[in-house]
Amino acid sequence: MEEPELFSDVVVVGAGNAALTAALAACEAGAQVLVMEKASADERGGNSRFTGGIVRFVYNGLDDIVPLVPDLSEAEIARLDVQPYSAEAYTQDIMRMSEGKADPTLTSVLVHNSYQTLRWMQSLGVRFELYQTAVRQGGRLHFPAGAVIQFWNGGPGLTQRLFRTAEGRGIGVVYDALGLDLLTTAEGRVQGIRAQTPEGMVDIHAGAVILACGGFEASAAQRVRYLGPEWEDVHVRGTRHNTGELLERVAALGAQMGGHLDGAHAVPVDAGSPAVGDLYLGDLTARLSYPLGIMVNRDAQRFIDEGMDFKSYSYTVMGPAILRQPGGMAYQIFDQQTVERLETRYGSGSRPVIAETIAELASKLGLSPEALVRTVTDYNAAVQAGSFNPAIKDGKRTQGIEPVKTNWALRLDAPPFVAYSVCCGITFTYGGVLTTPAAEVLHNDGTPIPGLYAAGEITGGIFYHNYPSGAGLMLGAVFGRIAGTRAAACALHV
């Protein structure tokens, strides 16, 4: 019995932000498009559906922000404290956080296409809202540089809008389809994909294929292989379907792998959260208010500078740091001076441990009371005078202890004390296939593989070591749009 065959100008593998922007761009360019999704219709959307939705882009000031959120009143606009975020600043953030390793050409494409890509997405029906965890201070809303806008209703709102537009434009979606192999000509041109579906094996022939199916963070075996043995049992924040099968297959075909292959975006999450992402919880498991307190490990010792930077620039450092602690666990401790400032998502998931004294708190957490009292006493003694201001890097720091806390250092002396247990949650992997600025997948010999494009978390080359919040969704959308446009031109021989 022959295997069934399907035909399309462009096939997009994946169904998250990068995939759907690619599909819509290809459709706008005149191509017939088919989306192949590994998940069921109920679980569709990839990692994008789990994200809080913040997106980082270049803007000159409020005049660029207001068109993205047109429903803001004049009174609301007047309360916003928004500083310009230039292309130079965006580029410097990525270069600084990647320790200078980000590909400068790919970074330039991301940065200089960021704002216009959001306006294009707006034309597709995507909506935006103000970043929900902005700092409220003195009757005003203060936004960290580059972190002003998020997709309306976060990742669920983003994927819902993209799917609605895609379906309205006649883009077909095949669900429960696991990509097994690429179909190629004898000369190495990609001309489709072979997939396992509930109906059996299917060959989907196409003029071009776009891979936008994520990294390998949901595969314990691949995490151990690339990231190390300590990553085997780490919590997965997003979809369970990103297990890297096609990444492995494309590498076997000669695609050039690169970027930070042994690195990943990972953050503090509720220690009681599910081992794999839950669509009902989405992004609510993250615990990112650590700059407002201290973090200790199971030995009741601080182990990192909680005030090194705004959470937008430090949260991906914190996850791996927690993973390296005994048992891969840590405890975030706050007092009544800051507990009201914690992100609202601290109200979901595991209940906090509350106590009137540090010794009692330690006992409830299963830590050594003597050790935790000593840690907090030493920390309090090291806190220097100064004005606490969470809207800026206030320089209110400790002195004479290691690790130092360089900003937002308040004495922990206003009971009751509140503690949250956290562990490391992996979001996505940094390495993957390398591409040209036109989103063409590169062969090991440095030439593009004809007919093959990629976008989103399956690619590598920009993120190393650390990551400015919101750049991931922006990367997927920018290169998704480019991949879709170029793949359509390839398929239609334009």
CATH 3.40.50.460 fits 5-217+432-492, yes or no: no
Q: What is the pLDDT of residue 5?
A: 80
Nearest to 439 by CA among 97, 9, 110: 110
Q: What is the pLDDT of residue 248?
A: 87
Q: Report the DSSP beta bridge partners of residue 383.
A: 398
pLDDT along the chain (494 residues), means of 10: 79 98 98 98 96 96 95 92 96 97 98 98 97 83 91 97 98 96 94 94 96 97 96 96 93 95 96 94 94 98 97 94 97 97 94 98 98 98 96 96 98 98 97 98 97 98 95 98 98 85
H-run or E-run covering 172: strand 172-174
pLDDT digits (tens, 9 = 90+) for 75-107: 999 999 999 999 999 999 999 999 999 999 999
3-state secondary structure 310-325: CHHHHHHHHHHHHHCC
Q: What is the pLDDT of residue 134?
A: 81
Q: What is the pLDDT of residue 133?
A: 78
Structural contact between residues 437 and 463, judged by C-beta atoms closer than 8 angstroms: no
Which token pair is 131? Answer: 């970043």
Comma-separated ranges of CATH 3.90.700.10 domains in the chain: 266-425
Comma-separated ranges of CATH 3.50.50.60 domains in the chain: 5-217+432-492
Q: What is the pLDDT of residue 1?
A: 45
Which token pair is 235? Answer: 């919590």
Distance in angstroms (rounded) separating the CA atoms of residues 98 and 448: 25
Report the CATH fold assignment for 266-425: Flavocytochrome C3; Chain A, domain 1 (3.90.700)
Burial bucket for residue 185 (CB in 10 Å: 0-12, 13-18, 19+)? exposed
Distance in angstroms (rounded) separating the CA atoms of residues 444 and 188: 13
Long-range contacts of 140-144, Cβ-Cβ distance < 8 Å, separation of 24 or more: 140/79, 140/80, 140/81, 141/79, 141/80, 141/81, 142/81, 142/391, 142/392, 143/80, 143/81, 143/82, 143/83, 144/310, 144/312
Distance in angstroms (rounded) separating the CA atoms of residues 453 and 210: 5
Q: What is the pLDDT of residue 3?
A: 61
Alpha-helix runs per DSSP H in 290-406: 311-323, 358-365, 369-382
Which token pair is 63? Answer: 């005049």
- Tokens 């900003």 found at: 407
